[in-house]
Amino acid sequence: MERPRRTSAKPRFNPTNIPDRQSTKNGLVEQAPTRKRRRESIPAGASPKGGNPPLKKRCNWAGVYTGADSAEYIKYHDEEWGRPVTDDQVFFEFLTLEGAQAGLSWATILKKRSEYTKAFAQWDVHSVANFTSKQVEDLLKDDSYGIVKNRAKVASVIKNAKHILEVAEEFGSFSKYLWSFVDGKPIINQFESLSDVPAETTLSISVSKDMKRRGFKFVGPKIIYSLHQACGIVNDHLIDCFCYKPIIASFSQ
């Protein structure tokens, strides 16, 4: 089951004060210190017997996933998906992974995540922007890189890195550019069912159009909406998911 999508408005927040997924490499902007959050890794399945509390409820797309990599899939849902991001390198990573997913399943890309990290210089935007044509050929032909061997997708990563640097020069960071479309306020949706979540919205269409105008590739409205969901620009956890309220609380304090 694939991940969701959608929009509506609510609480305000300051993107510089939220706990986010920060990279440890030298990113494009200096981020405010983040607070470490205690998180639990909760296995899928029925509620345990005995006096133990029932398992926490998740969004359908994660809670019912039973692939061989289900633990990793669930960990991604519990600890990353929907948590607001302000780090440019994290945005670069997810822009790349969402683009790579086009025509494929998220489970497929998630399994290859570490391979993408290795292939694209630990998501160092400056380094990737300077990849040569030989490096691109190596990524496509060298089996030691377990990425999707699609020339257009691989070439788009280098092109997008260049444009991220251009946007960062104009806006101060790529993060500020993306958050500017929602005035720095995450959109809090109130979906009860996966069927309520759209594949794209007027917001993702608008962002997609502007990014295409700037030269970005693999940034269609559906890909951009998936980016918004993954990076917390929208909170599309279902309202009965155990992640829904804590994520709201984390940026409304």
Distance, CA of 251 to CA of 242 (rounded, Å): 16
Does the annotation flag 228 for ligand binding?
no
Does the annotation flag 163 for ligand binding?
no
pLDDT at 40 over 50: no
CB atoms within 10 A of CB 1: 15
Distance, CA of 208 to CA of 178 (rounded, Å): 11
pTM of the entire predicted model: 0.79
Average of per-residue pLDDT values in the chain: 84
Catalytic residue among 61, 106, 225, 244: 106
Catalytic residue among 73, 81, 93, 98: 98
* 76 labelled catalytic: yes
Each residue of 57-97: pLDDT tens digit? 999 898 777 776 788 889 999 999 999 999 999 999 999 99
Would you mind telling me the total number of residues written for the chain in this entry? 253
Distance, CA of 100 to CA of 81 (rounded, Å): 17
Does the annotation flag 231 for ligand binding?
no
* 98 labelled catalytic: yes
Sequence ranges of the domains in the chain: 15-26+55-252
CATH of domain 15-26+55-252: 1.10.340.30
* 106 labelled catalytic: yes
Does the annotation flag 237 for ligand binding?
yes
Each residue of 185-244: pLDDT tens digit? 999 999 999 999 999 999 999 999 999 999 999 999 999 999 999 999 999 999 999 999
Token pair for 237: 């956890």
